[in-house]
Amino acid sequence: MSEPDPPERLQKVLARAGLGSRRTCEDLIVAGRVRVDGKVATLGDRVAADAASVEVDGVPIAIDPTLVHYLLNKPPGVVTTASDTHGRPTVLGLVPAEPLVHPVGRLDLDTEGLLLLTNDGALTHRLTHPSFAVDKEYLAEVSGSPSRGAVRSLREGIELDDGLTAPATVALVERNVLRIVIHEGRNRQVRRMCAAVGHPVVRLVRTRIGPIRDADLRPGVWRELTQTELRALEQAATGSGAAAGLHPGPNDP
C-alpha cells in the first residue's frame, strides 16, 4: 500500500486543480464556497489530496494529482473493453498503460468518436449513473432518407425490445445524416432506434459527451481533458449540466 499524501493548504490544492491563482482560491474559501468532506472550509484548512472530497459551489472537484482523464477519438474496429477474447485491438491499447484507466461507458465495435477513459471512479460513477447521465450527441449516417415522420418518431420515443426510449433531440442535417442527442445509455441504442424507423445506421460517430467536444482530435489519438473541461463535466454530472459553460480557466493552455 502506498503512503497517504501529506496534507497541503486547501488553496494550493484548489489552484493546482485549476480553480485559479492561490489568491483567487483563498477568496473562494473565505466566501464559504468550498466544502471539504461536506463541511464549509475555512482559510488555513489543510487537505490530503488523495483522501479528501472537495466541492466548490456544490460541484465536486478532482483534486487528486494521480487522477487522469483522457479524451480519445475511437476509430472503428476497436473494442471498448480491457481485453478481447478474439484478439482485436482495444481502446486501452490506444492510451498510456500507466496509470491503468477504464472507459466511461462504451461504444460499439464499429462506432467512432469521443470516448472518455479515466481512473477516476467517482466521476465514472456519476457519469454513468442514469439519474445524472449527461447528453451524448451522435452523427448517424443512415441508409435512405428519413421522412419528417421518422424524425418525429425518433424525437418522441421509439418502442424497442427493452422499452420506450426517452425523448431525444433529433435533426436531419443531410439527406441521410441524423444528429441525435440522447442521455440514456442502452446497448446499441442509436443503431436500434434508427433501424426501428427503417433507416439502419451505416456509420455512427459520437461527437459530444456532455460539454465535451473536439472536432480536431484525429482518430486513434487521445489527449488529457483541460481543467476547464473537467470542471464542466463534473458540473454536468451533478445534474446541473445545462449551466456548465466552457470558459477557459486560468490554468488552461
Q: Which residues are catalytic?
A: 108
Question: Shortest approach of ligand URA to residue 26 CB, angstroms?
Answer: 44
Question: For residue 249, what are the contacts with CB-CB under 8 A and spacing of at least 6?
Answer: 18, 19, 20, 226, 227, 228, 231
In the bound state with ligand URA, the residue whose beta carbon lies nearer, of 178 and 204, is 204
* Choice between 88 and 188, CB closer to ligand URA: 188
Q: Within positions 161 to 190, which residues make up the interface with ligand URA, using CB under 6 A?
A: 188-190
Which position's Cβ is nearest ligand URA?
Answer: 111
Q: Are 190 and 137 in contact (CB under 8 A)?
A: no
**Residue 100: which residues within 8 A CB-CB, separation 6 or more?**
119
Identify residues 57-116 at the interface with ligand URA (CB under 6 A): 107-108, 111
Phi, then psi, of 169 in degrees rounded to 5: -95, 120
Looking at the Cβ atoms of 69 and 191, the one nearer to ligand URA is 191
3-state secondary structure of 145: coil
Q: Which residue among 69, 74, 191, 208 contacts ligand URA (CB under 6 A)?
A: 191
Rounded to whole angstroms, how far apart are CA atoms 4 and 169? 46
Applying the rule CB under 6 A, the residues between 123 and 142 that interact with ligand URA are none
Decide: helix, strand or coil at residue 50. Answer: coil
154 binds ligand URA (CB under 6 A): no
- Contact call for residue 204 and ligand URA (CB under 6 A): yes
Q: How far is the CB of 214 from ligand URA (least distance, A)?
A: 17
The answer to whether the Cα torsion of 227, 214, 204, 191 is positive or negative is: positive
Contact 225, 76 (CB under 8 A): no
Note whether 11 and 29 are within 8 A (CB).
yes
* Beta carbons of 42 and 29 less than 8 angstroms apart: yes
Minimum distance of ligand URA from residue 29's CB (angstroms) = 41
Choice between 139 and 244, CB closer to ligand URA: 139
Min separation Cβ 187 and ligand URA, Å: 8
Q: Which is nearer to ligand URA, 93 or 185 (CB)?
A: 185
Backbone region of residue 188 per phi and psi (left: phi > 0; alpha: psi in -120 to 50; beta: other values): left
> Minimum Å distance from CB 141 to ligand URA?
13
Neighbours of 31 (CB within 10 A): 9
Residue 13 interacts with ligand URA (CB under 6 A): yes or no: no
Q: Write out the binding residues for ligand URA, residues 23-62 only, by CB under 6 A.
A: none
Q: How many residues bind ligand URA (CB under 6 A)?
A: 8
What residue ranges bind ligand URA (CB under 6 A)?
107-108, 111, 188-191, 204
